[in-house]
Structure 1
C-alpha cells in the first residue's frame, strides 16, 4: 500500500509540472463559447493570448481579438469587449498635459469585470493608466467612465480633476449617505470597489452580486486553512507475548495547512500540521488449571503529525471544488505504551509493569474532499499502517480514518 501511495504522489507531482496551462474560455462575436486552456500570460494583453483545447497540449493558436467578445479564466477572471467613450489622457504623472477636462475618444476595448451586480464595475488598463468604468442596470445608466485625471496647472503645479467622486455620489450612493463621505475617496480599485460593494448590498436589487479577481495574470497562490475533526483509530500492539487484541476508538484532532496552488488552479502542494491524542487499552486473560494471567496493554500518547504532498483540484460550477491528495508524513509521539502483567496462583499474586517509549514513524496518507467558494470544506483521509517502534522490539500500529472540517482564509 505504501508503494502504491508513493507512486500516486510521484504521478501527481510530475503531472503538475507539465500542466501549467490556465483553464479558460472565449466567446466569439457570434456567441459561440469555446472551452480550453490559455498559456500563462498577461490577460490584460488581448493581442498575445495563446489558447489550446488540450490540457497539456503545446499546439497553441493565437486568439483573434477582432472575433472575440469575451474571454476569461475559471469563474473569477472575465474580460468583456465594449465600444465606449474614454478619456485618452494620461491618468497621472509629471508629464501630464495642461487639459483639465477629459479628451474623449471612441474606442473598442476589452475591460476587466471587477464587480458583477446591479451596479457593475470594470477596469481598462493601457499605457496611460488604469481607468474605471461602471453601469447601473436598475437606473438605466449605461457604461461610462469614472473620470479622474491629473493635469499641469499654472507654475508647473499638478492639478486634479476628481469628477468621479460626484459621479459615485450621484449614481451609486446609499440612502442616507452624506456627500462628504465621497469627497476624500481616492481613485483606487480598493476604495471604488468598496463603494460598489456597499451600494449593491444596501439597495437589495435582487441581482446576485459577484466579485471577481482583477489580476494582471494568473499566479501561484498561497492559502492558509484551519482544520478540526474526528477520527476512528484502530490500535494494535505487537511483538509482545501473549499477543494482545486491538481496540478502536474515536479521537478528536485539529491543525492547520499551508498550500501553494499553481497558476492552472488544478494542482496544489500542501504542508499540514495536525495534533491528536491517542488513548487505548486492551486486556488478555489466560487461564490454566494452576494460574490465571492478566495482561493489560495501554497506549496513552499525543502525536504531532506533519504532512507534505500534492493535491489535484477539480472545479465545477464556479464555487465548487472537489479535490484528491496524497501525502508523505511523519508522526512524532509524546507519550508511551505500557504492559502490566498480573499472575494469580495458589501461592499468591505476582505482578510486574513495563513502559516502552515510542519512536517517530513515517507513513503515507490519501484523501478526498470538497470545498465551497474557496472557503468552507470537508475532507476524509486514511492513514496507511502507522507503526511505531518502542524499546524491547515493542511496536504499536495505528490505522486511522478521519474527517476534518476546513476553513480557508
Structure 2
C-alpha cells in the first residue's frame, strides 16, 4: 500500500511539470494599435476564448472581438476580413443542400500560405473552410466543400473545390485530373497551391508555427470539504441494523488533464478523510421479551482517499462554468478502528462484550456537479452511495454514504 501511495504522489508531481500556461503573441486593435504580450493557452482559432496579458505572469484579460482586427500567436496569424462565406458546409459539418449558401460576414482567416496565390482557413468548432486570394485581387474566395443529405437520407459530397483548383491553378501541361484526389485539408491544399506558385515562378512563405506541447494541459488544485454522512451498522447474526448521521471532513489535491475549449477532461484526486462517529441500536434477538441487546458501533480515524474519473464542462456566457463528473475510488484506512460494544440486559442479569478491528480498504464510486466561481475558485457537491469499512466481513458491515460539499482552489 505504501508503494501505491508513493506512485500516486509521484504521478501528481510529474504531470504538473508539463503544464503549459501561456504563449507569446500580439494583437492589433480596431484603431491600429499593436500590443505585444502573452495569450493564455486555449483554442486560438476562437477569438472569444482569448485571454491576453502584457506580462507572462500578469492578469490575463478577455479581449473583445470588436476590438481585434488581427492577432498572432506562436507564429500563427489571424486577420479579421469581410468575406462571402458558405453558411453551411466545411470539413466537418453536414449541410442540407448541395449548393453553397453564401452570406457576407466578418470572420477571422488564418494565413496558411503567402504567395502570388495565398491560402487561408476559417475554423469554427473544428469545422474548416478554406479561402484563396490572388495577388492584385481584393477578394478572398472560398474553396467549396460540402457534405450534404440527399432526399433518401444518404450522405453525398460536393467537391466543387477540385473544379475551382483545376480551373484556376493548373501548371503548363497539367491535366485537371491532377486535383482529382486532392483532400480538403490544410496540408493537401497548401501543397497544391505551393506547387502552382512554384511552377509559375513565385516564392511561397509558410508561417513557422511554434511547436506546441499539446492542446491539453494540467491543473493542480487543492480541496477541502465536509461530508454530511449517513452511517449504517448491521449484522445478519441477529438481523440488526441501525443508522445515524455524522459529519466527516476531507482535504487533498486534484490533478486534472483538460482542454480549455473542449468539454471532456479527466482528473485524479488524492486526499484524506477524517471521521469520528457512533451508531447505536437496541433490539430484542428473535423477538425475545426476556432480554435486549444494545449495540454501539464506533468508527474513528483518518483514511487515504484516491479517486479518478471523467468530467464534462458546460459553457455559460462563452465560458465553461458548470461541470458534472463521476469517479471510481478506493478508501484506505490509516489506523482507523471499528469497535463494537454489546450490552445485554434482562430482568435478572446484564453483561457486555465487544471487539475492535482495523477498518478495511474498499472501492466506491461517486458522482458530482460543480461551478467555477472564479478562474481559481470552484465549489462542488458530490454524492457517494456507499463505502464499507468492513468490506471482507461476512456477517457485519459498516456502510458510510452521503453528500459532500467541497471548495477547490487552483494552485497552478
Give the TM-score, by structure 1 length: 0.50
The match for 2:82 is 29
Counterpart CA distance in 2 for 1:223 and 1:282 is 40
The match for 2:301 is 301
Residue 257, structure 1, aligned to residue 243, structure 2: no
C-alpha contact 1:27 1:34 (8 A) present in aligned 2: no
Counterpart CA distance in 1 for 2:397 and 2:352 is 22
1:226 CA drift (Å): 0.8
RMSD after superposition: 4.1
Residue 367, structure 1, aligned to residue 368, structure 2: yes
Counterpart CA distance in 2 for 1:297 and 1:37 is 65
1:228 CA drift (Å): 1.1
C-alpha contact 1:343 1:349 (8 A) present in aligned 2: yes
Counterpart CA distance in 2 for 1:233 and 1:273 is 20
1:341 CA drift (Å): 1.1
The match for 2:266 is 269
C-alpha contact 2:91 2:129 (8 A) present in aligned 1: no
Give the TM-score, by structure 2 length: 0.50
SS in 2 for 1:245: strand
Counterpart CA distance in 2 for 1:220 and 1:22 is 13
Task: Provide closer, same or farther for how the CA distance between residues 298 and 49 of structure 1 changes in structure 2, counting only shifts above 3 A.
Answer: farther
Counterpart CA distance in 2 for 1:224 and 1:33 is 42
The match for 1:235 is 231
SS in 2 for 1:265: coil
1:404 CA drift (Å): 0.8
Measured against aligned partners, the alpha-carbon deviations of 1:333-377 in whole angstroms (never above 9, x if no partner) come to 231222111123344321111123321111111111111443111
Task: Provide closer, same or farther for how the CA distance between residues 372 and 345 of structure 1 changes in structure 2, counting only shifts above 3 A.
Answer: closer
The match for 2:332 is 332
Residue 247, structure 1, aligned to residue 244, structure 2: yes
Measured against aligned partners, the alpha-carbon deviations of 1:251-305 in whole angstroms (never above 9, x if no partner) come to 2211110011137432211111121112221222346654343221222232211
Task: Provide closer, same or farther for how the CA distance between residues 362 and 399 of structure 1 changes in structure 2, counting only shifts above 3 A.
Answer: same
Q: RCO greater where, 1 or 2, for CA within 8 Å and sep 6 or more? A: 1
Matches within 5 A, 1:1-400: 24=46, 28-29=81-82, 45-47=111-113, 60-62=128-130, 67=140, 219-240=215-236, 241-262=238-259, 264-286=261-283, 290-334=290-334, 335-388=336-389, 389-391=391-393, 393-400=395-402
Counterpart CA distance in 2 for 1:289 and 1:263 is 66
The match for 1:407 is 409
Counterpart CA distance in 2 for 1:257 and 1:37 is 39
Task: Provide closer, same or farther for how the CA distance between residues 299 and 313 of structure 1 changes in structure 2, counting only shifts above 3 A.
Answer: same
Counterpart CA distance in 2 for 1:220 and 1:379 is 23
C-alpha contact 1:356 1:391 (8 A) present in aligned 2: no
C-alpha contact 2:249 2:274 (8 A) present in aligned 1: yes
Q: Which runs of 5+ in 2 are unaligned?
A: 1-41, 48-78, 93-108, 114-118, 134-138, 142-204
SS in 2 for 1:321: strand
Counterpart CA distance in 2 for 1:340 and 1:310 is 42
C-alpha contact 1:27 1:33 (8 A) present in aligned 2: no
Counterpart CA distance in 1 for 2:406 and 2:88 is 34
> What is the number of equivalent residue pairs in this alignment?
244
Counterpart CA distance in 1 for 2:230 and 2:270 is 21
C-alpha contact 1:292 1:345 (8 A) present in aligned 2: yes
Q: Which runs of 5+ in 1 are unaligned?
A: 1-19, 69-125, 131-213
When structure 1 is superposed on structure 2, of 305-314 and 342-351 the one drifting more is 342-351
